[in-house]
């Protein structure tokens, strides 16, 4: 460590110290990739995060040095460096931080050489282009185009780049002409350090819809248990009564207990049985009288 210190110019030394302080003063430290984010958007993001999280941009070498000097498990963050990294400090928990950063993402046009974050689909339908070289450009990237009513029309919906594939120059050009913005641009959280552990994006992405479903599912189970075990609660007593009544009716109808309350159900059941047999008989040549079918 002493070795590093001696060789660092003053401003670098200060920078490293500032990074170390940031890490020590916040429970959560994230690594984000700033690569390809326009400066204007970085400013927007900073503004959106103000009061919640602080973005610290620096050279990767200096961040690495700070992490090395601190040592311990936080240094594991180094393994998640990618592109042009920046640190993000917050007092929020890492899940919340991940969610916040996802929310700051916006859609941008694709640049040649970028990787498609999802299948890029060009929908069929009319365009505003007049006939010209554009038709050839479309065809070169596999988009079937025709001229219709003096305008270029895309004949069928096409997936031009699959998720994970590189977007080449020609495709990028066509997409930009069509105004398709496939890229998610924003601070991508590479990893977050929290209380001795490094969390990856896969661990941090929470599916709220799935969570709501689990809640609903758990509530159903509780409802079922309460009714099936006949444990009355304010919420379920109505259903429990209903169940008991249904059971009693079922038994009564099934066994043919001729009680006033269910005699109409029994009549209905007999009538349905008659109809079922009548229709089966009809299918085999027995003429039903009109009354039967009424």
Partner 1 sequence: MEYIYAALLLHNAGKEITEENVTAVLKSAGVEVQDARVKALVAALEDVNIEEAINRAALAPVAAAAPAAAAAPA
Window 230-249: residues binding partner 1 (CB under 8 A): 230-249
State how far the Cα of 161 lies from the Cα of 277, in Å rounded to an integer.
60
CA distances from 140 to 191, 238, 274 (A): 40, 67, 69
Q: Which run of H or E residues covers position 51? A: none
| Minimum CB distance to partner 1, residue 244 (Å) | 4
| Minimum CB distance to partner 1, residue 206 (Å) | 4
Interface size with partner 1, residues (CB under 8 A):
96
Q: Which stretch binds partner 1 (CB under 8 A): 6-14, 118-126, 161-169, 266-274?
A: 266-274
Binders of partner 1 in range 181-220 (CB under 8 A): 195, 197, 199, 203-204, 206-208, 210-220
29 strand-pairing partners: 89, 193
**Contact status, residue 164 vs residue 133, Cβ threshold 8 Å:** no
Beta carbon nearer to partner 1, 57 or 237: 237
- Cα maximum dimension of the chain: 109
Beta carbon nearer to partner 1, 108 or 240: 240
Beta carbon nearer to partner 1, 146 or 216: 216
In 3D, which of 132, 151, 133, 155 has the Cα closest to residue 143?
Answer: 155
Beta carbon nearer to partner 1, 166 or 216: 216
Binders of partner 1 in range 96-135 (CB under 8 A): 96, 99
Beta carbon nearer to partner 1, 81 or 95: 95
CA angle 244, 250, 256 (to 5 degrees): 130
Q: Is 104 exposed, middle or buried (0-12, 13-18, 19+ CB in 10 A)?
A: middle
Beta carbon nearer to partner 1, 58 or 236: 236
| Minimum CB distance to partner 1, residue 71 (Å) | 23
Interaction between residue 27 and partner 1 (CB under 8 A): no
**Contact status, residue 87 vs residue 22, Cβ threshold 8 Å:** yes
| Minimum CB distance to partner 1, residue 264 (Å) | 4
| Minimum CB distance to partner 1, residue 210 (Å) | 8
Beta carbon nearer to partner 1, 141 or 240: 240
Pairing assessment for the beta strands 106-108 and 183-185 based on DSSP bridges: antiparallel
Q: Which stretch binds partner 1 (CB under 8 A): 36-44, 116-124, 154-162, 285-293?
A: 285-293
Beta carbon nearer to partner 1, 36 or 242: 242
| Minimum CB distance to partner 1, residue 246 (Å) | 5
Binders of partner 1 in range 57-96 (CB under 8 A): 93-96
Q: For residue 3, give both structure tokens.
A: 């070795």
46 strand-pairing partners: none
State how far the Cα of 3 lies from the Cα of 220, in Å rounded to an integer.
64
| Minimum CB distance to partner 1, residue 78 (Å) | 21
Q: Which run of H or E residues covers position 48? A: helix 39-49
CA distances from 25 to 21, 94, 176 (A): 6, 15, 44
């Amino acid at each position: 460590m002493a070795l590093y210190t001696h060789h660092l110019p003053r401003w670098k030394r200060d920078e490293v110290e500032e990074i170390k302080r940031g890490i020590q003063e916040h429970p959560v430290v994230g690594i984000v990739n700033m690569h390809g984010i326009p400066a204007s958007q970085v400013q927007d993001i900073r503004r959106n995060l103000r009061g919640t999280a602080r973005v610290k941009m620096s050279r990767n070498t200096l961040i690495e040095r700070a992490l090395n000097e601190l040592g311990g498990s936080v240094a594991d963050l180094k393994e998640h460096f990618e592109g042009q990294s920046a640190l993000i400090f917050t007092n929020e928990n890492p899940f919340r931080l991940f969610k916040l950063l996802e929310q700051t993402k916006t859609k941008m046009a694709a640049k040649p050489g970028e990787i498609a974050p999802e299948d890029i689909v060009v929908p069929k339908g009319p365009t505003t282009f007049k006939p010209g070289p554009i038709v050839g450009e479309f065809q070169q990237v596999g988009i079937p185009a025709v001229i219709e009513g003096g305008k270029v029309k895309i004949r069928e919906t096409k997936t031009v780049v699959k998720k994970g594939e590189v977007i080449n120059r020609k495709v990028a050009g066509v997409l930009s002409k069509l105004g398709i913005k496939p890229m998610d641009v924003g601070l991508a959280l590479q990893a977050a350090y929290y209380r001795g552990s490094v969390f990856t994006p896969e661990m941090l992405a929470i599916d709220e819809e799935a969570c709501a479903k689990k809640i609903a599912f758990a509530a159903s189970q509780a409802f079922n248990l309460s009714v099936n075990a006949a444990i009355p609660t304010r919420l379920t007593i109505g259903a429990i009564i209903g169940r008991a009544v249904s059971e009693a009716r079922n038994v009564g109808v099934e066994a043919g207990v001729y009680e006033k309350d269910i005699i109409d159900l029994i009549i209905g059941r007999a009538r349905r049985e008659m109809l079922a047999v009548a229709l089966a008989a009809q299918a085999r040549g027995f003429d039903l009288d009109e009354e039967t079918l009424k």
